[in-house]
Each structure stands twice: as structure tokens, then as C-alpha cells.
Amino acid sequence: MKKILIVDDDKKLTDLLDEFLSGNKFKIKCIHESINALAVLEAYKPDLVILDITLPEMDGFQVLRSIRKEHDTPVIMLTARGETSDRVVGLDLGADDYMPKPFEPLELLARIHSILRRVNEPSSLVDILEFEGLLIDKMKQEVFLDGGLVHLSTTEFEALVLIAEHASETLDREFLVENLRGIQWQSFDRSIDVLVSRLRSKLGETPEHSRFIKTVHGVGYIFIATRINK
């Protein structure tokens, strides 16, 4: 049974989500204080975290930042404000998906299943992509940069695989929107650009230096590294 940790100070909402998700064969743990979220995550070892942005003591962005220092656990962010700026910040910090309140529980359930499928489906993770200085192990969902392990969120990993599998092809934002599952992307906002920017940063790139992913201005991105294995 997959485990979900819910971090939200709205007890009425967490009770409803606990009942709904438990009824859909998930094991649920709810906490209402953000200050202990990381310790609970390390002890509970959930398969996914649902994290509210507006929390006392530490807001959801601070909690997510702490999680991403040590863990790649998928995180769905919740916010009552529904602002694009919140979404961009959450993605920039490594969130895997984002839902504005109020939301339909069935939509949340679909997002959860989508994220967990791409984490656990062995059929789509069957080989290794190797480039000069970069190795992507799709089976283990691990990325090595110059021999060192790089910690990516599940969405960042999926984006890297998608772009690397189309090496030397210019991929426009519409292609990425259509092929990245989980987050409800919109090609006209900055979500895709924020995701790729964060990915490039983790690969040691800067806006001025492209080793793997190059921006094609006004269009999208192209993976420029040389493939080693065929």
C-alpha cells in the first residue's frame, strides 16, 4: 500500500482527504505543523507528499526547500491563492505538481496516480542514456554528472529524459507541454521555462554556458551533448 504524507493546517480538509484517499487504498498520515514535516517524512518514508503553501511557522516553500536538500520524494503543492507566481516558485524549488484550492478530490487522485505511475512503471524505464559527462539510468531513475549523483525531482527527471531522448532535435514548448505528464502545463506561462532552468542549474549550466541543454530563443530547447551509447 502506497503511503502519502499530508502537511496542511486545515484539519477539516485533511480529515476529508484522509477519508477519501484511504478509501482509494492509500495509507495516509496527516500533520498540521510544518516545523516537524521533515522529521516526519524521514520517519514515515511516504511515497508522495501533499504540501500546503500557507502554513504556520514555516511556509510550504520553506518546507519544500528542506525536503529537496535530502529527498526526491514527489511533492504536490496546494495553495488557496491559485496565483501563477506561487506555481512558478513551487516548480522552481522542485515541486512535481501543483493544485489550487478548492479542487475536486478525483482530480487530486488522478494527479497522484500519474506521478506514482511515472515513478514506478518499469516498462518505461528500460535502459541507460549515456552522453559525454552525463549518464541517465532510466531503470533506477538516477542521473550522474561527471560521475557524481544528481538529485532531481520526478518531474525534472522526466523532463531530462524527454529532452535527452530527442537529442539534436529542437523541441518547442508545445511539445514539452504535451509530453510532460502530471502538472497541468500551460505553454503561455513560465512553468516549462522554470522547470528547464532548474534542471539546467542542477546540471551545472548557466544561461551563458550550455553543456547539455541549449535554449533556442523564441522556440524552446535542444539537447546538444554527444551520445555515447546507441
| Beta-sheet pairing, 142-145 with 213-216 | unpaired
Element (H, E) at 128: strand 128-131
* CA-angle at 152, arms to 109 and 181, nearest 5°: 35
The residues, ordered by sequence, that sit 6+ positions from 158 with a Cβ below 8 Å of its Cβ are 118, 180, 181, 182
Residue whose C-alpha cell is 504524507: 5
Rounded Cα distance between 97 and 77, Å, is: 6
* Residue 45 CB burial class (10 angstroms; 0-12, 13-18, ≥19): exposed
- Tens digit of each residue's pLDDT, the chain (230 residues): 899 999 999 999 999 999 999 999 999 999 998 988 999 999 999 999 999 998 888 899 999 999 998 888 999 999 876 566 777 777 778 888 888 888 899 989 988 988 887 776 644 445 889 999 999 998 788 899 999 999 988 888 989 999 998 888 899 888 887 777 555 555 455 778 888 999 999 999 987 889 999 998 888 899 999 888 65
Domains defined along the chain, listed by start: 3-120 (3.40.50.2300), 122-223 (1.10.10.10)
Distances (CA, A) of 32 to 7, 46, 60, 85, 166: 6, 16, 12, 24, 43
Rounded Cα distance between 224 and 138, Å, is: 19
User: Is 0.85 surpassed by the pTM of this model?
Assistant: no
- Contact between 29 and 44 under an 8 Å Cβ cutoff? The reply is yes
Residue whose C-alpha cell is 526547500: 65
